[in-house]
A and B are shown apart, each in its own frame.
Chain A
Amino acid sequence: MSSRSVQYTSSPLLASKTPIWRSQFIVACIALGFLGLVARAAYVQLIGNAFFKRQGTVRHVRTLDLPANRGRILDRNGHILASSVPVPSIWANPESIDRDPEKFKALAKLLEMTQAELEKKLSDEDKNFVWLKRQVDEPVAKNIEALKIKGIYARKEYKRIYPEGEAVAHVVGFTNVENIGQEGIEREFNKDLGGKPGSRRVIKDKFGQVVEDIGEIILPEDGRDLQLSIDSKAQYFAYEKIKEAVLSNRAKAGSVVVLHAQTGEVLAMTNYPSYVPDKRGNLVGEQIRNRVLTDTFEPGSVMKPFTIGLALNSGRVTPNSVIQTAPGSMVLTGTTIHDSHPHGALTVEQVIQVSSNVGTTKIAMQMQPQEMWKTFSQAGFGQKPPIAFPYLGSGRLKPHNTWRPIEQATMSYGYGLSASLFQMARSYTVFAHDGQIIPVTLLKSEDTVSGEQVFTANTASQVRKMLQMAAGPGGTGMKAQTMGYSVGGKSGTAYKQVGKTYGNDKNRKYRGWFVGMAPIDKPLIIVAVMLDEPSNGRYFGGDVAAPVFSEVVQQTLRMMRVQPDIAVKPMVVTQLEKESL
């Protein structure tokens, strides 16, 4: 050591006056502090790890629902018949609500309920969620927001919108407030339309923003869009016409169905009275029933072409065979069968034209019940129509081994069995589609289909000629004639049961209908029209239903761009001029 070095510690001037234990104490405290931190870290990381992880999750991890869009329902041209849009729903937290009477009054008014009703909904203060009103209009939600009541909130929910309203209501149906199909296509295809909701787990920061995904994201599967065979223009037109007919005939209800005779597609299916499916208040009562498919009744004269068709097909008669129907009535096992007027000797064609019950019975009694039953069954009577739709009426057709002779006779002209208007329309594809009964569909499918052969093409053509005569001069359905297009069809009228009888002259109720096709040589459409309880003096199917048939045929064929097949006296006042290019 050099002589210049100084031993500071030995200098009395620099000797610390504080005792050494103090510095040792401080060092010990700091060490202890560090030890504490290490112990805490060990506790957090090892012993209490699960607890802290859970707490972290509770504070920052959220599971987000990813809602699936319900598919849209479109018409054959892609126009929207049903679609979902988000609308506000109002909910409250009764636990934390601000109960200001003035504001409550305003709120109750906006929610269209009385103050007492509102108070009742909010009476349970233990709850922290209660719906006040679901699916309200946007302006209402805005006004409620403007009231700034603490504890009242809005949340977006999907609501189904039906832009075409009542004209298509019976086909499309509707959903409930939870978006589950309740009627019509919405019900039948609920699974396809509904889709599957997904979810994702995320970490949110203190601003509520998503900062990280945890685990796998389950993507939502949107519902499938459904394209129907319905043509919304034809549907609207049919609805307007049946509405007019129901109102002018003071009927209880009316229905129309239009089928494409080549593809089996349903082009229109409508009833009056109908309902607006967007308004929940309307969704109960008789008007929601799709009468075309649910209501069954005795088809009457509409059945005669099947009886005659079978006789022609089996070679028992020809269109020109003569049947004696004089004196306009006949007795069969003690029961008298009448014609509306005595007609004398008629050809088979004329039997259909003038709709003779006696003539039809005489032809039918040459056949076996089994043959007739087989033909009626093949034509779809007594079975649910093969179409994807809820609540289908199957009608009634007794097994042939239980038929008594009088039943065989009455069934040949359409009494003693029952069918829905839809079944009748479909059964006429036998005549329109060269003897085949074809499958029908409510979904768009433009290919020509083939079905089970019931009659030969020649028989079908012969019956079509008879149907044309029935809808022509001297026939029962003269009012079915339409400008420009050849038509054929059969009308029907029946007494409705009043209690256990058919009523008397004072309280008798009727049902009138018409089923036919056009153009008659190669039919493109089958139209069936029914009016329930017309009570304005006229009640025959040929008087009340045939005019609707005529108008629907003309407009539907025009919309399908079919050129008229019969000459029309033009009322064009100006001539078409050639356009210069």
Chain B
Amino acid sequence: MSRVSIILLAAVLLSALYLVRTQYESRALTTELDHATSEARRLEIENDRLDVERRAQATPKRVEKLAREQLHMRTITPAITHYATLPAQGANTAEAVRP
């Protein structure tokens, strides 16, 4: 067998081993990516769930209940509202200010 053939054979063997290694690494990375994607999705879902929970704590129904029962507040009317008009260009945007 000529020397060239031997060198080529060695090269083929090395390349084959390298291929096996690369494939292994690629699979390991795919697994990692998959885990990260699942985690991202899980966090996204968790975020959605917490958003809903936060909203459930701040619904008008709950706010009114707490305002009335714990803070002894009452519904506002124009008679107990002081309307302050902003000067200059903001003249049209009246803002309701509680006394």
Q: Which A residues are closer than 8 A to B by beta carbons?
A: 69, 72, 79-80, 83-86, 161, 163-165, 167, 202, 205, 209-213, 232-233, 236-237, 240, 483-485, 554-555, 558, 561, 563-564, 568-576
* Sample of 10 further A-B pairs with CB below 8 A, known A83-B52, A210-B30: A86-B45, A161-B52, A165-B59, A236-B64, A484-B77, A558-B78, A558-B81, A568-B79, A571-B79, A573-B99
B52→A85 contact, CB < 8 A: yes
Task: Name B49's closest neighbour in chain A (CB-CB).
Answer: A85
Residues of B within 8 Å of A561, CB to CB, are: 93-96
Choose one: A202, A232, A568, A576; the contact of B78 (CB below 8 Å). A568
Question: B97 at interface (Cβ–Cβ under 8 A)?
Answer: yes
- B80/A572 in contact, CB under 8 A: yes
Which residue on A lies nearest to B44, using beta carbons?
A: A69
Q: Tally inter-chain residue pairs, CB-CB below 8 A.
A: 97
In the complex, A462 Cα to B29 Cα: how many Å? Answer: 76
Interface: B39 (CB within 8 A): no
CB distance from A407 to the nearest CB of B (A): 45
Residues of A within 8 A of B99 (CB): 572-576
B22 in the interface (beta carbon within 8 A)? no
Q: Which residues of A contact B95 (CB under 8 A)?
A: 561
CB distance from A306 to the nearest CB of B (A): 32
B60–A571 touching, CB < 8 Å = no
- A85 shortest CB reach to chain B, Å: 4
Chain B: minimal CB distance from A562 (Å):
8
Nearest opposing residue in chain B for A210, CB measure: B34
Given A558-B76, A572-B80, A572-B82, also A233-B60 (CB < 8 A): yes
CB proximity of A138 to chain B, nearest CB, Å? 10
A83 to B52, CA, bound (A): 7
Chain A residue at minimum C-beta to C-beta distance from B34: A210
> B48, A236: Cβ atoms under 8 Å?
no
Q: Pick the contact of A569 from B55, B56, B79, B81 — CB < 8 Å?
A: B79
Could you give, for residues 14-54 of chain B, a 1 whenever the CB lies within 8 Å of some chain A CB and a 0 otherwise?
Answer: 00000000000011101100100000000001001101100
When distances are taken between beta carbons in the complex, the residues of chain B under 8 Å from A484 are 77-79
Assembled-state Cα–Cα distance A224/B56 (Å):
22
> Across the interface, which residues of A come within 8 angstroms of B28, CB to CB?
211
B48 touches A84 (CB 8 A): yes
| CA–CA, A326 and B31, complex, Å | 91
Closest 3 CB pairs of A and B: A484-B78, A236-B60, A211-B27
**B84, CB-defined interface residue at 8 Å:** yes
A323 CB → nearest B CB, Å: 37
Q: Is B75 an interface residue (CB 8 A)?
A: yes
In the assembly, what is the distance between CA of A577 and CA of B52, in Å?
39
A563 x B94 contact (CB < 8 A): yes
With beta carbons under 8 angstroms apart, the residue of A69, A237, A569, A576 that contacts B84 is A576
Ordered by A's residue number, 28 sampled pairs between the chains whose C-beta atoms are within 8 Å are: A72-B48, A79-B55, A80-B52, A80-B55, A83-B51, A85-B48, A86-B45, A163-B52, A163-B55, A165-B59, A205-B31, A211-B27, A211-B28, A211-B31, A213-B30, A236-B61, A236-B64, A240-B64, A483-B79, A484-B79, A561-B95, A563-B83, A568-B79, A570-B80, A571-B79, A571-B80, A572-B80, A572-B99
Given A83-B48, A86-B45, also A576-B34 (CB < 8 A): no
Q: A85-B52, A161-B52, A163-B55 are in contact. Are A210 and B31 (CB under 8 A)?
A: yes
A403 shortest CB reach to chain B, Å: 46
Q: Give the distance in Å from the alpha carbon of A561 to the alpha carbon of B92 in the complex.
A: 11
Would you give the 0/1 interface string for B62-76, flagging 1 where the beta carbon is closer than 8 Å to chain A?
001000000000011
Within the assembled complex, what's the spacing in Å between the Cα atoms of A84 and B93? 38
Contact A212 B27 (CB under 8 A): yes
**Known contacts A83-B51, A83-B52, A163-B56; is A209 also within 8 Å of B78 by CB?**
no
Interfacial chain A residues near B34, Cβ < 8 Å: 202, 209-210
- Expressed in whole angstroms, the minimum distance between the Cβ of A34 and any Cβ of chain B is 20
Question: A79-B55, A210-B31, A576-B82 given as contacts; is B94 within 8 A of A85 (CB)?
Answer: no
Q: Assuming A555-B75, A561-B96, is B61 touching A167 (CB within 8 A)?
A: yes
Contacts of A236 in B (CB 8 A): 59-61, 64
Residue of B whose beta carbon sits closest to that of A235: B60
Residues of chain A within 8 A of B56, CB atoms compared: 161, 163
- Cβ distance B9 to chain A, nearest Cβ, rounded Å: 20
Which A residues are CB-close (under 8 A) to B83?
563-564
A80 / chain B contacts, CB cutoff of 8 Å:
51-52, 55
Chain A nearest CB, measured from B91 CB (Å): 11
Q: How many angstroms from the CA of A300 to the CA of B4 in the assembled complex? A: 105
> Which B residues are in CB contact (< 8 Å) with A569?
79
Determine whether the beta carbon of A576 is less than 8 Å from that of B48: no
Shortest CB-to-CB span from B84 to chain A, Å, is 7
User: In the assembled complex, which residues on chain B have CB atoms less than 8 Å from the CB atom of A570?
Assistant: 79-80, 82
CB distance from A212 to the nearest CB of B (A): 6
Bound-complex Cα distance A554 to B76 (A) = 10
Contacts of B30 in A (CB 8 A): 210-213
Residue of B nearest to A570 (CB): B79
Task: Kindly list chain A residues whose C-beta atoms are within 8 Å of the C-beta of B96.
Answer: 558, 561
In the complex, which residues of chain B have a beta carbon less than 8 angstroms from the beta carbon of A237? 60
Note all chain A residues with C-beta closer than 8 A to B85.
Answer: 563
When distances are taken between beta carbons in the complex, the residues of chain A under 8 Å from B55 are 79-80, 163
Max count, chain B CB within 10 A of own CB: residue among A72, A237, A564: A564
**Residue of A with least CB distance to B76:** A558
State the Cβ distance, A355 to closest chain B Cβ, in Å. 28
How far, in whole Å, are A164 and B62 apart by their CA atoms in the complex? 10
Nearest CB of chain A from residue B59's CB, rounded to whole Å: 6
Residues of B near A167 (CB, < 8 A) are 60-61
Given the contacts A210-B34, A213-B30, A236-B61, A554 and B51 also touching, CB distance less than 8 Å: no
Decide if B80 touches A554 in the complex (CB within 8 Å): no
Instruction: State the Cβ distance, A277 to closest chain B Cβ, in Å.
Output: 13
Residues in chain A near residue B80, CB distance under 8 A: 570-572
What residue in chain B is nearest A555 (Cβ atoms)?
B75
